């Protein structure tokens, strides 16, 4: 399967997270702009060779930005899998370090549903470098975990990663449009087996298999509350 062969339909995410609860959508747009700028700043800093004058200027700007951010109001509730995963799968990925559009550290990996598969589009920038000019293998594994986690959460009773096996066939290049495709291989009781493949154009560069264990999130939340109350 190649990127040109896939007929990917981007879904409306329908976010109902903190940024859309009583707040106008322009605010969300602004926060996304901040996240995008900070990601690119990270890539530029990683890939660039600033002069002393430039580095001092950037350091001062970064420190001013940090100071300004300390005055941001704190959310009274942080969305979690317990509240959101069953209601809207995309909510859980809102702040993901891989795919979250509101996360300044995300790649981001753009997720979509295509038939019975989850497809992730991604272009890893300079700050994700491992071997020179290529993506660190840990980020490739994380991308597999994200797309397989999404497919099992969307098409079955959602669970947590029990096992992740990745086979690296080719080095994964930086600054290149890549595609990750995941699907459910089988479901046996609470065990959800998923598979995924990664492509650079027509060339397959890696594949993976994941085992997810379905979780009763309500029971888990009650258990955590009890432990918290007893501590």
Domains for the chain: give ranges and CATH numbers: 12-231 (3.10.129.10)
Paired tokens of 69: 């951010």
pLDDT at 135 over 70: yes
% of residues, the chain, pLDDT over 90:
55
| Per-residue confidence (pLDDT) for residue 2, from 0 to 100 | 38
pLDDT of residue 17: 40
Question: Which residues is 199 bridged to in the sheet?
Answer: 179, 204
Predicted local confidence at residue 196, as pLDDT: 98
Q: Name the token pair of 122.
A: 């991604």
| pTM, entire model | 0.76
Q: Give dist(CA 211, CA 171) in Å, integer.
A: 24
Residue 79 has pLDDT above 70, yes or no: no
pLDDT, residue 199, reads 98
Tell which residue, 213, 211, 210, has the closest CA to residue 190: 213
pLDDT value of residue 223: 65
pLDDT score recorded for residue 191: 95
Q: What is the pLDDT of residues 86-117, one digit of tens each?
A: 454 445 567 788 888 888 889 999 999 999 99
Q: Which two tokens stand for residue 1?
A: 């399967």
Q: Residue 41 pLDDT > 50, yes or no?
A: yes
List, in sequence order, every beta strand (DSSP E) within the chain: 110-114, 117-122, 159-168, 178-188, 191-200, 203-214
Between the alpha carbon of residue 65 and those of residues 58, 61, 71, 151, the distances in Å are 10, 6, 10, 37
Please list the helix, strand and coil fractions of the chain in percent, rounded to the nearest 5, in that order.
40, 25, 35
Alpha carbons 197 and 177: distance in angstroms, whole number = 14
151, pLDDT greater than 70:
yes
Top pLDDT among 9 and 221 is at: 221
pLDDT at position 46 is 87
| Residue positions counted in the chain | 231
Q: For residue 62, give both structure tokens.
A: 């970064």
């Amino acid at each position: 399967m190649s990127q040109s062969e896939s007929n990917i339909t981007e879904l409306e995410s329908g976010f109902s997270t903190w940024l859309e609860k009583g707040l106008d959508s322009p605010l969300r747009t602004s926060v996304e702009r901040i996240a995008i700028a900070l990601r690119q700043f990270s890539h530029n800093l990683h890939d660039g060779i600033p002069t002393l004058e430039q580095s001092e200027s950037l350091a001062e700007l970064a420190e001013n930005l940090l100071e300004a951010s300390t005055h941001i109001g704190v959310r009274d509730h942080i969305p979690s899998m317990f509240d959101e995963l069953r209601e809207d799968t995309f909510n859980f990925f809102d702040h993901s370090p891989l795919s979250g559009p509101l996360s300044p550290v995300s790649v981001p990996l753009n997720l979509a549903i295509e038939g019975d598969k989850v497809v992730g589009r991604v272009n890893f920038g300079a700050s994700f470098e491992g071997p020179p000019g290529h993506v660190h293998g840990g980020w490739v594994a994380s991308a597999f975990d994200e797309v397989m986690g999404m497919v099992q959460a969307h098409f079955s009773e959602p669970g947590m990663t029990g096992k992740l096996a990745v086979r690296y066939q080719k080095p994964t290049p930086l600054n290149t449009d890549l595609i990750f495709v995941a699907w459910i291989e089988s479901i046996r009781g609470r065990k959800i087996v998923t598979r995924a493949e990664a492509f650079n154009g027509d060339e397959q560069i890696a594949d993976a298999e994941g085992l997810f264990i379905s979780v009763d999130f309500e029971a888990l939340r009650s258990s955590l509350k009890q432990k918290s109350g007893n501590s």
